Amino acid sequence: MALNGIVENINIDWYPDRNSQMPIYEQIVKYVCRKVSSGEWTVGMKMPSQRELAHKWGVNRSTVVTAMDELASYGIIECGYGGGTRIAGNTWSVLMSEQGADWNRYIRAGEFQANLSTIQIINKLEFDDYIRLGTGEPDPKLFPSEMMKDIMVELSGNMISLNYLEPLGLRKLREVLSVRLEKEGIYAPPSCILITSGSLQALQLISICMLKRGSTVFAEAPSYLKSLQIFQSAGMNIEGIPMDEEGIRYEAIAKHIKGFSRKDYDHMLYTIPTFQNPTGILMSEMRREELFSFCQDYRLPVIEDSAYSQIWFDRKPPLSLKARDRNGMVLYLGTLSKSLAPGLRIGWIVGPESVVQRLGDVKMQIDYGASSLSQLVAARFLETGMYDEYLTEYRVEMKKRRDNALKAMEKYMSGKAEWRQPEGGFYIWTTLKGNVSTDQLFRKALSQNILLNPGNIYDFASNKALRISYAYEDPENFEKGIKTVSELI
At closest approach, how far in Å is the CB of 383 from a second copy?
18
At closest approach, how far in Å is the CB of 263 from a second copy?
8
Residues 6+ apart with CB under 8 A from 398: 311, 313, 424, 426, 470, 471
Q: What are phi and psi of 11, to 5 degrees?
A: -100, 130
Whether 192 and 199 have beta carbons less than 8 Å apart is answered as no
* Distance from C-alpha of 198 to C-alpha of 228, rounded to nearest angstrom: 14
102 vs 487, which CB is nearer to a second copy? 102
282 vs 329, which CB is nearer to a second copy? 329
At closest approach, how far in Å is the CB of 29 from a second copy?
10
Q: At what angle do helices 117-125 and 438-447 cross, to 10 degrees?
A: 20
347 vs 419, which CB is nearer to a second copy? 347
* Distance from C-alpha of 241 to C-alpha of 218, rounded to nearest angstrom: 7
431 vs 477, which CB is nearer to a second copy? 477
* Distance from C-alpha of 431 to C-alpha of 365, rounded to nearest angstrom: 43
221 vs 234, which CB is nearer to a second copy? 234
What are the residues facing 453 on neighbouring strands?
Answer: 467
Q: At what angle do helices 61-73 and 24-37 cross, to 10 degrees?
A: 40
At closest approach, how far in Å is the CB of 332 from a second copy?
12
At closest approach, how far in Å is the CB of 9 from a second copy?
18
At closest approach, how far in Å is the CB of 1 from a second copy?
11
344 vs 398, which CB is nearer to a second copy? 344
How is residue 277 annotated by DSSP? Answer: T
92 vs 460, which CB is nearer to a second copy? 92
What are the residues facing 292 on neighbouring strands?
Answer: none
211 vs 485, which CB is nearer to a second copy? 211
Instruction: Report residue 292 CA to chain centroid gap.
Output: 29
148 vs 173, which CB is nearer to a second copy? 148
How many CA atoms lie less than 13 Å away from 137 in the CB half-sphere? 19
* Distance from C-alpha of 264 to C-alpha of 355, rounded to nearest angstrom: 18
290 vs 418, which CB is nearer to a second copy? 290
CA nearest to 246, candidates 219, 291, 281: 281
3-state secondary structure 167-195: CCCCHHHHHHHHHHHHHCCCCCCHHHEEE
* Distance from C-alpha of 248 to C-alpha of 322, rounded to nearest angstrom: 16
Type of residue found at 163: N
Buried b (16+ CB within 10 A) or exposed e, 69-106: ebbeebbbbbbeeeeebbbbbbbbebbbeeeeeeeeee
At closest approach, how far in Å is the CB of 386 from a second copy?
14
Whether 321 and 302 have beta carbons less than 8 Å apart is answered as yes
Buried b (16+ CB within 10 A) or exposed e, 413-433: beeebebeebbbbbbbbbebe
How many CA atoms lie less than 13 Å away from 79 in the CB half-sphere? 14
At closest approach, how far in Å is the CB of 421 from a second copy?
27
146 vs 314, which CB is nearer to a second copy? 146
